[in-house]
A and B are shown apart, each in its own frame.
Chain A
């Protein structure tokens, strides 16, 4: 058993729902107790979908357990087929149904439905949402593409690719697919199938007709890409085009595999973000301490953008999905910062409190943490909230995505002259963090009272007062450094001098 306050990932059947909901023409019959239908609202409310997810739940109750839940499943499955007439079906069990072992796959087979049925075996007590979506896509592709053959290509035909990984409820998948589609068009590469987002079961059977695959979201697409590689000898592009540099690398990789000229891609909608980053105002971004956490793909990509395109210092990098821990550790090592692989919200919170970054790039969970710790935050990864599904076009990938990243990461920061003035005139009664934002007329909630300084060292009143003059967004770090320094030097009471000694010590 594991004590959990908030979870980063749902159960694996929610991953399966993300695939089913992304597609056209499939229907998922889920053997599940009453209550599991809550998952519908993830799609209808958070993502504002205007249709119910294509899922029928058996919603069995205690009284059904004494009778025949298998019969209930068969009735629901038959009824769902007749009502929705899907092109293909998926069947499976949620965590409770897994325990009663009714075998939805076998039961559905016995019904002899006139459409292909994919049985999903998603172990709820071992695996989680991302794994569930990857496995579901893989099983669907196996069902529908196993019998396909890769047709011969006419000489001189335009290169053709599949895009793998985008799902329903994905963080900006909707817009990434459009942005990357435009980029590929500029390169003269045709898109054969995008899956699962927007694909029908028939489309899945056409996956082998492409020359290569692009894995945009490895959390969902990698398993399928490997199978397609092995079965149909389709190579895969694996660079994630998040940020200007990675987008250029992506173009180079696509151009090499597709044997096309990369130039039209590089020229396509050339990003403003390099100039925004080089222009003098961005000097203030230099060395801003940032903590990054999310799904492995977005976190690793964000770390590169943060360090190489924004000039931030990445002080911590982590991911909640253990399946990609190796990639995260490698990226953290390269940046010389610690890696955190954890799905424990409380551990992430402790890490952020310890590191005292100036900016957190994370999921909606880190937004909670950052709000509580009064640290600036931008969301870069699922799980996300209704406000992370904006009305406007807002990709994360490609050159336009790089522009979006620049704006959304910089806006929460204290920048430029404001930063200087805060540091220079700490005693101004309406211009300090304790007064609340001045543009809100001093009526906004003021900063919380400093947590009492604890630990083995004490602060003299003068030193405590001096500490208060340090802007709030670096104060926590200064306090911690000074205490560490004092402990190290055996100083029992921190004086003003100690504060500045520590500052000079750590600035070396």
Chain B
């Protein structure tokens, strides 16, 4: 079930995309909770779902989170489905129980799942009701992380899109501000903040904020930069508020980060000289750190299975800055406009595939015999056993990889499996 189509892209040169429909070996959007619940420190994520949802979240990271998590699942039972119990009443009780245990929570996300979507449990009404009941100290918001609607990182997109309406309305005539959109590790945020300050940009905010009630005002004078490529719905919501997106490649590697910062600098009219003066030290550090991995990675062939939508950006980084040959870039979803600047930089020989039929893709991968395969946890060990070197893709989402000072680490994540193969003699 696959078709080759030509995408009508303005920015990127039209190139064929292999569209596949079959078994998709990917996580659902609930998985985003694993990092989002740490990012927003006074928010709690309550999945309204099944035992499968609860089991997924605790298994997804490969290990369990040791600290008390700020997420839980309201597991639906037979009586919730049979209409014996009013599911809304049950949900209210679970929320009351939760708040009793965690009175420190300021924002509660009710997260929809496949079963809650299929039985059409209206969580937006539930959120309004619960906000009225427990407010104003608690705000209840809902979004869906269900697998029928979201793939892995799209859960963050849905979460952030639901958060946009909570932003205060920008005062008319407010001075222009920059919004960096997409959850980043705190340390990376701080690095970017210092760079933007160096560029003389007065007001920079990050979204999502570290505290639920610190959402910045958003309006016509907001320019935003996506820090993550999977935020299509959030982009729409921000644009509907009048904010304008700055198109750029994503901040991976020395050149990606420089181009990303440049998009903001240009919008603020920072001179070329000033820009270069501010970013040069970081860019040089990044180049040196990346260079160290070239002897391992240069000329090696890499194959991406779809996972997080980061794949085209990572492929661009690996081909441009490390000299890798990209055989196939699989992505669960290809946002043509957002990805335009990345696709422009990929070799015409690279196959871009969207969606998945995992068995067919495995056939292609085996036939191509790449030097390194980027894939999910379900495929990695089986492929290693077949003799292929793999990099588990989830680590690319769970570790700091954006910006100049992580560029070397990012390259290292790809180099390590190959270095290990050279080291281990058993």
Q: Mark B140-153, 1 if CB is under 8 A from A, else 0.
A: 00000011110100
Contact assessment for A3 and B74 in the assembled complex, using a CB-CB cutoff below 8 Å: yes
Contact assessment for A96 and B148 in the assembled complex, using a CB-CB cutoff below 8 Å: yes
Kindly state the separation between the CA atoms of A330 and B23 in the bound complex, as whole angstroms. 47
Given contacts A1-B76, A1-B93, A6-B64, contact A11 B55 (CB under 8 A): yes
Contact assessment for B62 and A41 in the assembled complex, using a CB-CB cutoff below 8 Å: yes
Contact assessment for A99 and B23 in the assembled complex, using a CB-CB cutoff below 8 Å: no
CB contacts (< 8 Å) of B94 on chain A: these are 1-3
Kindly state the separation between the CA atoms of A42 and B64 in the bound complex, as whole angstroms. 12
Contact assessment for B382 and A51 in the assembled complex, using a CB-CB cutoff below 8 Å: yes
Q: Does A217 make an interface contact (CB < 8 A)?
A: no
Q: Does B367 make an interface contact (CB < 8 A)?
A: no
Kindly state the separation between the CA atoms of A39 and B55 in the bound complex, as whole angstroms. 9
Contact assessment for B55 and A7 in the assembled complex, using a CB-CB cutoff below 8 Å: yes
Given contacts A44-B378, A62-B148, A95-B50, contact A1 B66 (CB under 8 A): no
Q: Does B114 make an interface contact (CB < 8 A)?
A: yes
Given contacts A34-B26, A56-B23, A100-B118, contact A4 B75 (CB under 8 A): yes
Q: Give the number of chain A interface residues (Cβ < 8 Å).
A: 58
A113 to chain B, nearest CB (A): 18
Kindly state the separation between the CA atoms of A56 and B24 in the bound complex, as whole angstroms. 10
Q: Does B6 make an interface contact (CB < 8 A)?
A: no
CB contacts (< 8 Å) of A372 on chain B: these are 66
CB contacts (< 8 Å) of B64 on chain A: these are 6, 364, 368, 385
Q: Mark B60-75, 1 if CB is under 8 A from A, else 0.
A: 1011101011001111
CB contacts (< 8 Å) of B26 on chain A: these are 34-35, 37
Give the residue of A10, A37, A41 whose beta carbon is less than 8 angstroms from that of B23.
A37
Q: Does A45 make an interface contact (CB < 8 A)?
A: yes
Kindly state the separation between the CA atoms of A59 and B30 in the bound complex, as whole angstroms. 15
CB contacts (< 8 Å) of B74 on chain A: these are 1-4
Q: Does B403 make an interface contact (CB < 8 A)?
A: no
Closest partner residue, chain B, to A368 (CB atom) = B66
Q: Does A304 make an interface contact (CB < 8 A)?
A: no
Q: Does B380 make an interface contact (CB < 8 A)?
A: yes
Within 8 A of A (CB), among B354-389: 359, 376-382, 384-385
Kindly state the separation between the CA atoms of A313 and B202 in the bound complex, as whole angstroms. 66
Q: Mark A73-103, 1 if CB is under 8 A from B, else 0.
A: 0011001000100000000001110011000
Contact assessment for B377 and A41 in the assembled complex, using a CB-CB cutoff below 8 Å: yes
Kindly state the separation between the CA atoms of A348 and B376 in the bound complex, as whole angstroms. 33
CB contacts (< 8 Å) of A62 on chain B: these are 117, 146, 148-149
Contact assessment for B87 and A35 in the assembled complex, using a CB-CB cutoff below 8 Å: no
User: At the interface with chain B, which of A121-129, A282-290, A393-401?
Assistant: A121-129
Q: Does B52 make an interface contact (CB < 8 A)?
A: yes
Kindly state the separation between the CA atoms of A65 and B115 in the bound complex, as whole angstroms. 12
Closest partner residue, chain A, to B144 (CB atom) = A62
Given contacts A1-B90, A125-B76, contact A44 B50 (CB under 8 A): no
Within 8 A of B (CB), among A1-52: 1-7, 9-11, 13-14, 33-42, 44-45, 48-52
Which range contains the number of B residues in contact with the other chain?
35 or more
Q: Does B133 make an interface contact (CB < 8 A)?
A: no
Contact assessment for A126 and B78 in the assembled complex, using a CB-CB cutoff below 8 Å: yes
A146 to chain B, nearest CB (A): 30
A125 to chain B, nearest CB (A): 5
Kindly state the separation between the CA atoms of A159 and B27 in the bound complex, as whole angstroms. 49
Q: Does B160 make an interface contact (CB < 8 A)?
A: no
Give the residue of A3, A65, A386 whose beta carbon is less than 8 angstroms from that of B118.
A65
Q: Does B128 make an interface contact (CB < 8 A)?
A: no
Kindly state the separation between the CA atoms of A191 and B379 in the bound complex, as whole angstroms. 34
CB contacts (< 8 Å) of B97 on chain A: these are 3
Q: Does B422 make an interface contact (CB < 8 A)?
A: no
Contact assessment for A37 and B51 in the assembled complex, using a CB-CB cutoff below 8 Å: no
Kindly state the separation between the CA atoms of A100 and B26 in the bound complex, as whole angstroms. 22
Contact assessment for A99 and B115 in the assembled complex, using a CB-CB cutoff below 8 Å: yes
Contact assessment for A50 and B385 in the assembled complex, using a CB-CB cutoff below 8 Å: yes
Q: Does A60 make an interface contact (CB < 8 A)?
A: yes
CB contacts (< 8 Å) of A99 on chain B: these are 81, 115, 118-119
CB contacts (< 8 Å) of A2 on chain B: these are 74-75, 77, 94
A110 to chain B, nearest CB (A): 20
Kindly state the separation between the CA atoms of A48 and B114 in the bound complex, as whole angstroms. 29
Kindly state the separation between the CA atoms of A174 and B24 in the bound complex, as whole angstroms. 30
Contact assessment for A126 and B77 in the assembled complex, using a CB-CB cutoff below 8 Å: yes
Given contacts A10-B51, A11-B51, A385-B63, contact A96 B115 (CB under 8 A): yes
B149 to chain A, nearest CB (A): 5
Most B CB within 10 A of own CB, among A36, A41, A65, A368: A41
Within 8 A of A (CB), among B63-122: 63-64, 66, 68-69, 72-78, 80-81, 85, 87, 90-91, 93-94, 97-98, 114-115, 117-119
Given contacts A44-B381, A49-B381, contact A3 B72 (CB under 8 A): yes
CB contacts (< 8 Å) of B62 on chain A: these are 41, 45, 386
Given contacts A2-B74, A51-B385, A52-B378, contact A35 B55 (CB under 8 A): no
Give the residue of A1, A13, A60, A124 whose beta carbon is less than 8 angstroms from that of B148.
A60
CB contacts (< 8 Å) of B68 on chain A: these are 5
CB contacts (< 8 Å) of B1 on chain A: these are 75
Kindly state the separation between the CA atoms of A4 and B53 in the bound complex, as whole angstroms. 11
Kindly state the separation between the CA atoms of A83 and B378 in the bound complex, as whole angstroms. 19
Contact assessment for A124 and B60 in the assembled complex, using a CB-CB cutoff below 8 Å: no
A62 to chain B, nearest CB (A): 4
CB contacts (< 8 Å) of B93 on chain A: these are 1
Q: Does B59 make an interface contact (CB < 8 A)?
A: yes
Closest CB pairs A-B (n = 4): A35-B28, A35-B147, A40-B378, A50-B385
List 23 A-B residue pairs with CB atoms under 8 Å apart, sorted by A's residue number. Answer: A1-B93, A2-B75, A3-B97, A4-B51, A4-B75, A7-B54, A9-B51, A14-B52, A35-B29, A37-B378, A38-B378, A40-B25, A44-B380, A50-B382, A61-B149, A83-B359, A95-B51, A95-B52, A95-B115, A96-B52, A96-B118, A125-B76, A128-B51
Q: Which residues of B contact A (CB under 8 A)?
A: 1, 22-31, 48, 50-52, 54-56, 58-60, 62-64, 66, 68-69, 72-78, 80-81, 85, 87, 90-91, 93-94, 97-98, 114-115, 117-119, 146-149, 151, 359, 376-382, 384-385
Q: Which residues of A contact B (CB under 8 A)?
A: 1-7, 9-11, 13-14, 33-42, 44-45, 48-52, 56-62, 64-65, 75-76, 79, 83, 94-96, 99-100, 123-126, 128, 364, 368, 371-372, 385-386
Q: A41-B59, A41-B378, A45-B380 are known contacts; what are 12 more A-B pairs with Cβ within 8 Å? A: A1-B48, A10-B55, A36-B56, A44-B382, A50-B385, A51-B385, A59-B22, A94-B52, A99-B118, A99-B119, A125-B77, A385-B63
